[in-house]
Amino acid sequence: MLAKRVIVCLDVRAGLVTKGVKFQSNQDLGDPVDFARRYYEQGADELVFYDITASAEQRGLFVDVVKRVAQAIFIPFTVGGGIRSLEAMRTVLLAGAEKVSLNSPAVRDPSLITQGSQAFGAQCVVLGMDALKVPASAAIPSGYEVVIDGGRTPTGKDAVAWAREAERLGAGEICLNAIDTDGVRGGYELTITRLVADCVSIPVIASGGGGTPAHLVAAVTTGGADAALVASMVHFGDYTVGSIKAAMAAQGVAVRGLTPV
Q: What is the pLDDT of residue 147?
A: 96
pLDDT of amino acid 236: 86
Domains defined for the chain, CATH in brackets:
5-250 (3.20.20.70)
Residue 195: predicted pLDDT: 98
Mean pLDDT computed over 90-101: 95
Residue 16's pLDDT is what? Answer: 76
Among 110-119, 217-226, 230-239, which is the least confidently predicted range?
A: 230-239
Mean pLDDT over all residues of the chain?
90
DSSP lists the bridge partners of residue 48 as 9, 78
| pLDDT for residue 20 | 52
Q: Residue 169 pLDDT > 70, yes or no?
A: yes
Q: Which helix (H) or strand (E) holds 101?
A: strand 99-102
Share of the chain above pLDDT 70, in %: 90
Which residue would you say has higher pLDDT here, 34 or 220?
220
Per DSSP, 231 falls in state S
- Span 39-93, pLDDT tens digits: 999 999 999 988 866 555 555 567 888 888 888 899 999 999 889 999 999 999 9
* Residue 41 CA: distances (Å) to CA of 77, 213, 254: 14, 19, 20
What pLDDT is recorded for position 184?
Answer: 84
Listed residue (19, 14, 3) closest to 209, CA to CA? 19
pLDDT for residue 258? 80
Beta strands in 2-72 (DSSP E): 5-13, 16-21, 24-30, 46-51
**Over the stretch 112-166, which tens digit does the pLDDT of each residue have?**
999 999 999 999 999 999 999 999 999 999 999 999 987 889 999 999 999 999 9
Q: Which residue has the higher pLDDT, 26 or 4?
A: 4
Q: What is the DSSP letter of 127?
A: E
Residue 151 confidence (pLDDT): 82
What's the CA gap between 133 and 136, in Å, rounded?
A: 9
R_g of the chain, CA atoms, integer Å? 17
Predicted local distance difference test score (pLDDT) of residue 17: 74
Q: What is the mean pLDDT of residues 218-246?
A: 95
Comparing 162 with 30, the larger pLDDT belongs to: 162
Does pLDDT of 14 surpass 80? no
Confidence (pLDDT) at 19: 60
Q: What are phi and psi of 241, to 5 degrees?
A: -60, -40
| Active site members | 11, 130
Residue 53 is predicted with a pLDDT of 62
pLDDT at 63: 82
